[in-house]
Amino acid sequence: MLSKIKSLGLMGIDGYVVLVETDISNGLPSFDMVGLGDTAVKESKERVRAAIKNAGFKFHINRITVNLAPADKKKEGSAFDLPIALGILAATGQLKVDDIIENSVFLGELSLDGGIKPVRGILPMTISAKENAIENIFLPVENADEAAVVSGINIYPAKSIKDVVNHLNGIERIEKYIADKENIFKYNISYDVDFSDVKGQQAVKRALEVAASGGHNCLMVGGPGCGKTMIARRLPTILPSMTFEEALEVTKIHSIAGVLPEKTPLITQRPFRAPHYTISTASLIGGGRIPKPGEISLAHYGVLFLDELPEFNKNVLEALRQPLEDGVVTISRVNATLTYPARSTLICAANPCKCGNFLEPAKECTCTPKQIQQYFGKISGPLLDRIDLHIEVSSISYKELDSKEESEKSQDIRKRVNRTRKIQQERYKGLNIYSNAELSHSMIKKYCKLDDKCKSILENAFEKLGLSARAHGKILKVARTIADMEESQYIKANHLLEAIQYRSLDRK
């Protein structure tokens, strides 16, 4: 006898419908799985067999063949356990097949006693179910909140396979899960840290506000203990609030990676990721034997902070170039090409030299000019080309540290950043870009026009300061952001001069 049960699989950050076909026929006892399943899928045979028996159902000793269609797509994970078990029960007449099954999808890993365990990637799979006009989704209880983010689909959380079978056979219904969607997307702006914690460093705070206002990548260079890391960790507190669409996309990525925080069905705060400098290329960019999003994708719409930048493996840093340019990560495999979004703000921190005292007037640097050049030479020119702001950070004095004067709070800075971002959103409406940092070469010519005075300033800066050609577009984009911060329609001389000072590492 043949049965067909619908389930869902993952391809990148999107879900797709999988048809689980089960055929039971006479012959030598066997249990075969086809349809390009990974190890977890193939191992489901033993979990399914034990779960069916221990849940009180009969497991027929016949020739069992299970096909996961479409057969040309790789199937990964243990979420197919439940639909495979239901397919066997339907094919042996223990489960009633009717319109409910036809309009439903089933997801869940089975424990040996028939219980249903949570799985990753529920949000993108639920979205896919809705897009394919599927009415019902049966899933683990622990995944119900995550699925409830999606409207227009009935959610049935189940604790065991017996609960699902009893519901479908009309014996005992599972209560439909209804969540308070207004409370799910409730932007929580309470942070443990605040910009007011940072004493002094007004110039650095100003530069970080420029970075937040225009979505610019930046590099902070300064000695140990001057506050680079402290300031970087406070950048998310001044970034604009996420829209529902942004929150949905960020949550999808975290769900697929299996790092969605418990009791957090929807991520509403911008992510902050700070990987250690020993990280591998696959962990930073994404990939692996079973491809997963990397740190740059987990920081999507948030901040990726790379501390001690010259200490990172050079190949790891070079792998950042394409994602920073395109805003996506493309991972190619034999069976498929996966794409993960990676539109994050890159914040880097580095010591100016190996001893760290090169920029400290009160301390003596013990490094030779050659050692300084070698240390910073680990960061390639093409990577620096993708960083808009170069910020020199000095240690603060005791007087600044002991000052009783209150610093500006993050919420006040965020209000200005929100206002600046709204100006950019209106200007670039319909262009699929959201900030000045994303301007292409042709867009720079259109939106970053200079008058004769500003052209003269930029020309003199290139000649006298020895700025490289790569600095031109960056300076104009940053100047456009500074003009937006002052609600100026045109780039003025003071905007351009401030932007020029943020290109210190481009000097020849």
Which residues, 6+ apart, have CB-to-CB distance to 501 below 8 Å?
none
Structure tokens at 87: 């397919």
d(CA 72, CA 74): 7
Give the CA distances from residue 40 to residues 78, 204, 357, in Å, rounded to whole numbers and listed in that order: 6, 49, 52
Q: Which helix (H) or strand (E) segment is 109 a member of?
A: strand 109-110
Mean pLDDT of 248-266: 91
Q: What is the pTM of this model?
A: 0.89
Amino acid code (one letter) for 463: E
At 289 the pLDDT is 78
Distance CA 225, CA 307 (A): 13
326 phi and psi angles, rounded to 5 deg: -95, -20
- Which range (204-213, 240-249, 331-340) has the least confidence? 331-340
CA 225, CA 393: separation in Å to the nearest integer? 10
> pLDDT tens digits for 432-490?
888 999 998 899 999 999 999 999 999 998 888 777 766 788 999 999 999 999 999 99
Signed CA dihedral, 426, 428, 434, 435: sign only: negative
The 3-state DSSP class for residue 268 equals coil
Quote the mean pLDDT of the chain: 91
pLDDT surpassing 50 at residue 508: no
Distance CA 130, CA 126 (A): 6
What confidence score (pLDDT) does residue 437 get? 94
CB atoms within 10 A of CB 494: 15
8 strand-pairing partners: 17
Kindly report the length of the chain: 508
- The Cα 400–Cα 381 span in angstroms is 35
What's 233's DSSP letter?
T
Q: What is the pLDDT of residue 143?
A: 95
pLDDT of 187 reads: 53
Angle (deg, nearest 10), helices 452-465 and 493-501:
20
Per-residue pLDDT at 345: 95
CA distance 235 to 414: 10
Write a three-state SS string for 445-480: HHHCCCCHHHHHHHHHHHHHHCECCCHHHHHHHHHH
Spatial distance between the Cα atoms of 266 and 422, rounded to a whole number of angstroms: 24
Report whether pLDDT(106) > 90.
yes
Token pair belonging to 154: 């009935």
| CA–CA separation, 66 and 89 (whole Å) | 12
**Residues 6+ positions from 65 with CB-CB distance below 8 Å:** 22, 23, 24, 25, 32, 34
pLDDT for 498 beyond 50 = yes
Six-digit token pair at 507? 């000097």
Residue % of the chain over a pLDDT of 70? 97
Cis upstream peptide for 261 (omega within 30°): no
Mean pLDDT value across residues 22-50:
92
* Confidence class for position 360, pLDDT limits 50, 70, 90: confident
Q: Which of 176-185, 270-279, 343-352, 431-440 has the lowest average pLDDT? A: 176-185
Q: All domains of the chain, ordered by start, with CATH?
A: 2-182 (3.30.230.10), 195-409 (3.40.50.300), 439-508 (no CATH)
Distance CA 109, CA 508 (A): 59
- Whether residue 78 contacts residue 109, with contact meaning beta carbons closer than 8 Å, is answered with yes
Query: 217-232: per-residue pLDDT in tens?
Result: 999 999 888 889 999 9
| 3-state class (DSSP) for residue 104 | strand
Highest-pLDDT range among 188-197, 341-350, 462-471: 341-350
Phi, psi angle pair for 65, to nearest 5°: -125, 125
Mean pLDDT, to the nearest integer, of 177-188?
69
| Average pLDDT, integer, range 31-49 | 92
Whether 181 shows a pLDDT value over 70: the answer reads: no
pLDDT of 466 reads 75
pLDDT band at 191 (very low <50, low <70, confident <90, very high): confident
Which tens digit of pLDDT belongs to each residue from 478-494?
999 999 999 999 999 99
Q: Compare 272 and 361 and report the one with higher pLDDT.
A: 272
Q: What pLDDT is stored for residue 185 in this prediction?
A: 67
Residue 34, token pair as written in the block: 């086809």
Residue 504: predicted pLDDT: 81
Instruction: Yes or no: say if 359 and 221 are a contact pair by the CB < 8 Å rule.
Output: yes
Q: Give the whole-number percent of the chain exceeding pLDDT 90.
A: 69
Q: How far apart are CA 114 and CA 160, in angstroms?
A: 6
Q: Which residues pair with 329 in a beta bridge?
A: 340
- Tokens 């221990």 -> residue: 54
**Distance of alpha carbon 24 from alpha carbon 67, whole angstroms:** 12
